[in-house]
Amino acid sequence: MSGADAGAPRRSGAFNVFLMVACAALSVLVVLLAVQNLRLKKALSQHGPGALPENALHEGESFTGLSLVQWDEQSRPLQFGQGENRTLLLIFSTSCGACERTFPIWEQVVAGLSEESKTRVVGVQTDASHGASEDPGGLMTEALTFPVFAVDYDASPIMGRIPGVPATVLLDAAGIVEKVWFGAPENDVIDEMRSALR
What does CATH list as the number for 55-196? Answer: 3.40.30.10
- b/e per residue, 74-105, with b = 16+ CB within 10 A? ebeebebeeebebbbbbbbbbebeebeebbeb
pLDDT of 135: 47
Per-residue pLDDT of the chain (198 residues; tens, 9 = 90+): 455 555 545 568 888 899 999 999 999 999 988 888 877 766 666 555 447 888 899 999 988 878 888 765 667 888 888 889 999 999 999 888 899 999 999 999 999 998 888 999 999 999 876 544 444 444 456 678 888 888 888 888 888 899 999 999 999 999 999 999 999 999 999 999 999 988
Question: Which residue(s) pair with 121 in the sheet?
Answer: 88
pLDDT of 140: 58
- b/e per residue, 155-177, with b = 16+ CB within 10 A? bbebbebbebbbbbbbbeeebeb
pLDDT of 122: 93
The alpha helices in the chain, defined as continuous H runs, are 2-46, 97-111, 139-142, 187-196
Question: Which residue(s) pair with 69 in the sheet?
Answer: 75, 150
Integer CA distances (angstroms), 167 to 45, 125, 130, in order: 12, 11, 20
Whole-prediction pTM? 0.70
The residues spanned by each domain of the chain are: 1-46, 55-196
pLDDT of 132: 45
Distance CA 145, CA 110 (A): 8
Full 3-state SS string of 99-157: HHHHHHHHHHHHHCCCHHHCEEEEEEECCCCCCCCCCCCCHHHHCCCCCEEEECHHHCH
pLDDT of 171: 94
Question: What sign has the CA pseudo-torsion 61, 62, 65, 67?
Answer: positive
pLDDT of 43: 61
Give the type of residue at 28: V
Q: Which one, of 123, 110, 117, lies nearest residue 193 by Cα?
A: 110
